[in-house]
Amino acid sequence: MLFDVDRIVELLPEMTQAFGETIYMIGIALLVALIIGLPLGIILFVTDKGLFLENKPIKSVLGFVVNVIRSIPFIILMVAITPFTKLIVGNSIGPTAASVALSVAAIPFFARIVETSLREIDKGVIEAAIAVGATPWMIIKDVLLPEAKSSIIQGITLTVISLVAYSAMAGFVGGGGIGDLAIRFGYYRYDNTIMILTVVILLLLVQIFQWIGDKAAKAVDKS
């Protein structure tokens, strides 16, 4: 039988736990991405040529680091930074350990998205703020962030959805979560019920995040 309802009931506790782990990993990584990736994206933008805090060395170094991390496939990154993960959380398996790798991947990803969002702002508005005599901090706080708000929210949606995919990959190396469930039951034990169910859960997760993100982005936009 392809789809067994009893099996679902039987594995419900495990499913719930896996789901919780996935949300936990994504939550931590998203939080870290917001705290570090957002300022990083702002720095990447404002230090660019012709902008009000133009600084070539900073822009080049940060740009390079971001590109290096982004060019490593997540599954390799996860294994490669194991020593770092151990240093931070003490072990290298489980959802907490996986969230370290997810955070490391999410920071440059989100930073680039923020940078791109800021780039979409009409340069004239920034120029007008400079002409008015605003400080760099005021321009960031009152011009850049409000003007890019809607676009950044869409970027957060994109980051979350990428994190859903990455978190499933984390299952491969003992990271826990829905991906782990899919590997253990669906892949190693040919348990189609679990396989299909995990796919459905992931699909629903992505749909829900996208829907929330779109609504939020639209709600904040005044233009």
Binding string, 100-139, against other proteins, x = CB under 8 A?
Answer: ----------------------x-xx-xxxxxxxxx--x-
In angstroms, what is the minimal distance from the CB of 51 to other proteins?
13
CB distance 99 to 28 below 8 Å: yes
> What Rg do the C-alpha atoms of the chain give, in angstroms?
20
Q: Is 48 in the site for other proteins (CB under 8 A)?
A: no
Count Cα atoms within 13 angstroms, Cβ side, for 59: 14
The pair of three-digit structure tokens given for residue 86, joined into one six-digit string: 């151990």
The pair of three-digit structure tokens given for residue 220, joined into one six-digit string: 């904040």
In angstroms, what is the minimal distance from the CB of 201 to other proteins?
36
In angstroms, what is the minimal distance from the CB of 136 to other proteins?
9
Q: What is the dihedral of CA 91, 95, 98, 104, to 10 degrees?
A: -110
Indicate the residue among 21 and 147 with the shorter CB distance to other proteins. 147
Q: Is 146 in the site for other proteins (CB under 8 A)?
A: yes
Indicate the residue among 76 and 222 with the shorter CB distance to other proteins. 222
Indicate the residue among 10 and 127 with the shorter CB distance to other proteins. 127
Residue 17, classed as helix, strand or coil, is: helix
How far CA 187 is from CA of 125, 181, 194, 214, in Å, comes to: 54, 9, 9, 34
Indicate the residue among 10 and 142 with the shorter CB distance to other proteins. 142
In angstroms, what is the minimal distance from the CB of 38 to other proteins?
17
Please, what is the Cα angle at 210 between 204 and 215, to 5 degrees?
130
Among 147, 155, 173, 202, binds other proteins (CB under 8 A): 147
Contacts with other proteins, residue ranges (CB under 8 A): 122, 124-125, 127-135, 138, 142-143, 146-147, 149, 220-223
